Each structure stands twice: as C-alpha cells, then as structure tokens.
Structure 1
Amino acid sequence: MSQSTATVPLVEFLAQSNIESSPAWELIDGRVVQKPMPTLFHSRLQRNLVNTINNRADGFEAIQELRCIIPPYSPVPDIAVIAEERLSDEDEPFNGAPDWLIEIRSPDQGTLDLQNKILHCLSNGTQLAWLIDCQRQQIWVWEGENLPIIYSGADVLPDLGLGLELTVDRILAMTRQKS
C-alpha cells in the first residue's frame, strides 16, 4: 500500500492485509497515511508514559498503537487511554474514540495532520487529547470542545481527574528514562 491523495472508503481500507505492518497505516480524512517510524526517544516516551498511566490510573488502560474505528477514520494513536469497561474481550481494533488520546509528534511530522486526527476524535467522544512536541518542549492539550492550551515546564497537565500530577518536564524526561 502506498500513501495516496485519492480518498478510500473505511470498509475498503480495513480490508487491506498490510495495514498493521510496522509502522501502522491510518485512514485520516479519506487518505491512507503511514505513521512515521518512531525514534528511540519517541519509543521510550511512549513506553514510559503507558507504564506510568497503567500503574496509577485505576479503571483505565493505556495502550500503545491501538487501531480505533471512528468512521470514516481509522486512527492509530500513539497512546489510547480507555475506560476498562469500554474494552472488548475480543482481540480486535477498538470501536470508538478513546477517552484520552496522546500523540507524540515526530520531527518530520506536521502538526496539522495530528490536530486533524485529534479534532476528529474529540468530536466523536474523546474527552482529553495531548499532542506532545518534544522539539518545542511543550504539550498542546484539548479538553472537550475547548480550544487547546499549550503547557510547558513545570505546568501540571490535565489527566481526566486521575491525579497523575504529570508535568511537561517530567514527561520530556521520560524520553531519556531507560526503564
């Protein structure tokens, strides 16, 4: 499959055999897009943030690279945080928008495409979205229908009321945390 500018219906996209190859393919606004290959720091941040959330957020599960079906989109957020009662017992993509979506911007990734994915999820039930920009050392945060707020430094980030008390500095430090 190659990235294209032609639009593809969701059903046709989901029938493709290689959409789960690494890195994953997404369907965003009718366009087939392959996610960038993560770097070392991106992968560490993703792992460490998932572990932190899962160790401290009762009733929710943070999952890396989980395909979501949110017609007509099929995004694969870097991290999807979902209330446990919403998760299926079946091994399949998640039907619906995650409660909390976290994207980590790669150096060669534009923010407009990521924001488009985030806005679609927010308009379909996502309550909280973070866009982590390590290069700019800031995190854009959307809550519900509010405009995004940009956090930096020692700012404590919203977390669905889970009490994680994560700051931008602490999250950025996770890029160098080996375990």
Structure 2
Amino acid sequence: MSATTLHSLTLEEFLKLPETKPASEYINGEIIQKPMPKGRHSRLQCKLCAAVNQVAEDKRIAYAFPELRCSFGERSIVPDVAIFLWKRIPFLIDDQVPDNFELPPDWTIEILSPEQKPNKVIGNILYCLKHGSRLGWFIDPDDVSILVFLREQQPLLLMGEDLLPVLPDELTLTVNQVFGWLKMGG
C-alpha cells in the first residue's frame, strides 16, 4: 500500500479525482492505493461473491459487489467484497444499480495481501462497523484464519471447521470451505 497526502484534500475533492488501478482509498486525509490483487486474493474474492449471490440475488435478499467504492463519513474505501442487503441498495428510479454508494455495506470483507498492513485493513472494517455495518471479515490466507467482527462484540478468530457468521442467514460456510476454494489443481 502506498500513501500519498495531498495538502487539505477533502473527501469531495478526492471523489473528483480519476480512478486508479488498483483502486485508491481516502482514509484520514490520505490517499492510499490498494495493492494489485494476486491469485489467492482474486480467487477468494470471486468465490465469496459467487457464494453470496447464488443464495441471495434471485430471492432479492442481498448482493455481493467486488471492489465497490463506498464513501461515507469521512472516508472513501473499496472493500474487497461489499455485501448489501437488498433493501439497502440505493437503486435508481428505473431499478438499476447506482454507480455511487454513499453508505457502508452491511457486511464488509477484506482479504489480506502480503503488501498490506493488517491494522490498516482492520481499521477499515472497524470504521464500517462504527458507521452501521453489521459484519466484517478479515481473511488471512497465510494464517488460514478469518477474524470476524460483529457490532458491539469481541472479535472472533475462526479456523478449521468453525462456522462463519454470514449475511444472509441462508448461506452456510466454514473456514475450511472458504480456504478450500484455493485448491484448484488436480
């Protein structure tokens, strides 16, 4: 993650800047570019979105967006996966999904990349919870663990066959199932 501080740049000014690849986030007055996703990160992100959307999209319960910019409070962040309950998606008048989400996701998922500082990533999850998110996951592929954050509760470090708290409730996942998605070879 590289950080750039621009003197007295506001959130509104940041949002007018051109998008970067990979995405940049605006946190505490700093512009921080996320690292380019690598293999394990991309695989987990794709499978998590697919698992949530397979259970929740047709029933209009929730939807998982990969790399969706969410701007609220004093930050503009891009969670690896942002899950919104259907009733909270700010659809346009013609029922299309909007480009801009100015609210926190109901469930935010961050997948740690080797170049990232864990506390900065966890800080975004905590920020989301402070502003209304109900659930946060911090996935560490090297540790094969998921740190789960629920509002107003102690974090849970889950491993192995531990059942993961999810939104929507119709989805059932264990830590082993999530990390099992990384095994693609014969």
TM-score (norm 1): 0.91
Is 1:137 the counterpart of 2:144 in the alignment?
yes
Tell me the CA shift for residue 4 of structure 1.
1.5
CA displacement at 1:40 relative to structure 2: 1.1
Alpha-carbon contact 2:62-2:168 (below 8 Å) kept: no
**SS of 1:49 mapped into structure 2:** helix
Change over 3 Å in CA distance of 1:161–1:92 after alignment to 2: closer
Q: CA RMSD in A?
A: 1.7
Query: C-alpha separation between the residues in 1 aligned to 2:83 and 2:100?
Result: 14
Distance 2:117 2:138 in 1: 11
Structure 1 stretches (4+) deviating beyond 6 angstroms?
none
Q: Does the aligned pair in 1 maintain the 2:23–2:78 contact within 8 Å? A: yes
The structural deviation recorded for 1:74 is: 0.3
Shift in alpha-carbon separation, 1:170–1:30, aligned structure 2, 3 A: same
Query: Are 2:10 and 1:3 aligned?
Result: no
Unmatched runs of 5 consecutive residues or more in structure 1? none
Q: How does 1:9-88 map to 2 (within 5 A)?
A: 9-17=10-18, 19=19, 21-57=20-56, 58=59, 59-87=61-89, 88=91
**Offset, 1:92:** 1.5
Deviations 1:20-69 (A, max 9, x none): x3211111122100111000111111111100110113410001001001
The aligned residue for residue 146 of structure 1 is 153
Aligned counterpart, 2:100 = 93
Q: In the comparison of the two structures, how many residue pairs are matched?
A: 175
- Seen in structure 2, the aligned counterparts of structure 1 residues 145 and 8 have a Cα distance that, compared at 3 Å, is farther
Matched, 1:105 2:112: yes
Give, as a single letter, the amino acid of the residue that structure 1 aligns with 2:17: Q
Structure 2 CA distance for aligned equivalents of residues 8 and 143 of structure 1 = 32
